[in-house]
Amino acid sequence: MRVAVYPGSFDPFTNGHLDILKRAAGIFDHIIIGVLVNPAKSCLFSPEERVEMISEVIKPFENVRAIHFNGLLVDFCQKVGACAIIRGLRAVSDYEYEMQMFSVNNRLSSEVETVFLMSSPKFSFLSSSIAKEVARYGGDVTGLVPENIQSAMLAKFADI
Ligand code: PNS
């Protein structure tokens, strides 16, 4: 069975992430969405909230589940038996960061392959930060994030 990890901060999970996930789920037998717990980064949603929201979105996919992790990504991959890391690439500007991450991960473990999927052009502008920026100032995020995440963002920003 070929298991892949789709890692990220997912603060929050966007429709761009969903597009990459759907395509990866068609290639691998099982996908584990790894939500990074990063105490150094201030996130809008807690890791538990992010996992819960993503779990709602991925209900239709039998071969996908979401869990949070901390520490090194390659260690997480080993723990869950993944042979690959999935990353989405939007534009050339993503390349340098992704190249750096690939190089570090490859140095730490040559057993895990990184598989890059190009974003669909309709999501190439989209990031979690852009979605948060729009929602923070009351803009409409329909089409940018799944419905349950839209309401969660509205609720979060209403509280702030
Ligand atoms: O969506 P992001 O924030 O670009 O995802 C980054 C992520 C979570 C993939 C990366 O920060 C990560 O893997 N962190 C875990 C720590 C680690 O393994 N670092 C070495 C590779 S940079």
8 Å CB contact between 65 and 55? yes
Tell me the best of 6, 9, 127 to mutate to test the pocket of ligand 1, counting ligand atoms within 8 Å of each CB and taking the most.
9
pLDDT for the residue numbered 159: 76
DSSP 125-148: T--HHHHHHHHHTT---BTTB-HH
pLDDT tens digits, one per residue of 104-142? 999 999 999 999 999 999 999 999 999 999 999 999 999
pLDDT tens digits, one per residue of 9-18? 999 999 999 9
Beta bridge partners of 5: 32, 85
Judge whether 143 lies within some domain. Answer: no
Residues in the ligand 1 pocket, defined by CB under 6 Å: 7-9, 36, 72-73, 101, 104-105
Judge whether 157 lies within some domain. Answer: no
Q: What is the DSSP letter of 91?
A: S
- The model's confidence at residue 39, banded by pLDDT at 50, 70 and 90, is confident
Cis previous bond, 12, omega within 30: yes
108 compared with 159, residue with greater pLDDT: 108
Q: Is 58 left (phi over 0), alpha (psi -120 to 50) or beta?
A: alpha
Judge whether 112 lies within some domain. Answer: yes
Number of domains in the chain: 1
Atom 10 (ligand 1): residue with closest C-alpha? 8
Q: Which of 35, 16, 7, 20 is nearest to 112 (CA)?
A: 7
Judge whether 134 lies within some domain. Answer: no
Judge whether 130 lies within some domain. Answer: no
pLDDT tens digits, one per residue of 74-98? 999 999 999 999 999 999 989 999 9
pLDDT, the chain, mean: 96
The ligand 1 atom at the shortest distance from the C-alpha of residue 7 is: 9
pLDDT for the residue numbered 131: 98
Judge whether 158 lies within some domain. Answer: no
Q: CATH number, domain at 15?
A: 3.40.50.620
3 compared with 38, residue with greater pLDDT: 3
Q: Which of 159, 128, 152 is nearest to 49 (CA)?
A: 152
**pTM, entire model:** 0.97
Query: Is the pLDDT assigned to residue 67 strictly greater than 90?
Result: yes
- The model's confidence at residue 49, banded by pLDDT at 50, 70 and 90, is very high
pLDDT for the residue numbered 132: 97
pLDDT for the residue numbered 86: 98
Tell me the best of 68, 73, 85 to mutate to test the pocket of ligand 1, counting ligand atoms within 8 Å of each CB and taking the most.
73
- Domain coverage including residue 48: 3-125
Judge whether 30 lies within some domain. Answer: yes
Judge whether 32 lies within some domain. Answer: yes
